Amino acid sequence: MSLRDVVLLHGWGSGAGIWDDLARRLEPRFRPHALPLPGYGPDTARALSLEAIVTAVARAAPRRCGVVGWSLGGEIALAWARRAPRQVERLALIATTPCFTSKPGWPCATAPAVLREFGRALATDRTGTLARFTAVQAKGDARARRFAGVLQRFNESGPPADVLAAGLAILSNTDLRRELSRVGQPALVLHGARDRIVPPAAGRRLAAALPNARFELLRTCAHAPFLSQPARVAAALREFFDE
């Protein structure tokens, strides 16, 4: 029996290596593919819009696969699943929101002014700004110190400024809420109850809006549950992709 392919899409400012531990836990039952987003890997090619990133990821991925997306990677996974339902068979979304910024009728999000200020700070103090971002991602997690160090290592060797800025623009401008009813693949939405980046309410609304999704709340986790509770997240993913 052939192994099922599972693509792992990382979040803003990190990199494909963030999945190393989880990928080992998914083997040997699955064949994990931790794909660097354009600009994050050794390839110097740039894809600085959501559509361009989806195109690049789809080309690099197996013809049929399950997909795990974290944060920005989750938004990319949603857009990809909508565009290529024959390629993306199942969808696991970790700390994902269809709309990162607050809008009328969508309060469970970040104020646009906060993101603009973050972008300005990033342009003048990349190291300090990414360090503060890491601290916010870890804040409140029962194992904050454990995974903050992992995130910080990726920040120090992260992508160039234009890639980071393009990612912020995607987070600021993307609103996939109207697309969700057309993402019919089975979906698992995993969310940390202590997430300060993407409120749990956004994950609940995401799961409710998808036609075939279920929601699981990880009560002691913040924004990166797969780093905080890797065994639990790996078990949930193995069960989901085995269905």
Q: What residue ranges define each of the domains in the chain, with the CATH number in brackets?
A: 4-242 (3.40.50.1820)
User: What type of residue sits at position 213?
Assistant: A
**Alpha carbons within 13 A on the beta-carbon side of 220:** 9
> What amino acid positions are annotated as catalytic residues?
71, 195, 223
In a 3-state reduction of DSSP, which class is residue 99? strand
93-97, 121-125, 170-174: range with lowest mean pLDDT: 121-125
The region of weakest confidence among 142-146, 213-217, 223-227 is 142-146
pTM surpassing 0.75? yes
| For the chain, percent of residues with pLDDT exceeding 70 | 96
Output the CA torsion 140→142→146→230 (10° steps).
Answer: -120
Q: Which residues 6+ apart lie within 8 Å of 80 measured at CB? A: 54, 57, 58, 67, 87, 88
For residues 33 and 157, what is the distance between their CA atoms, to the nearest angstrom? 21
Which amino acid is present at 63?
Answer: R
List b or e across 8-36, with b for residues whose CB sees 16 or more CB atoms inside 10 angstroms: bbbbbbbbbbbbebbbebbeeebbbbbbb
Residue pLDDT, tens place only, 4-43? 999 999 999 899 999 999 999 999 899 999 999 998 887 6
More confident call, 148 vs 52: 52
Residue 203: which of 102, 123, 114, 108 has the closest Cα?
Answer: 108
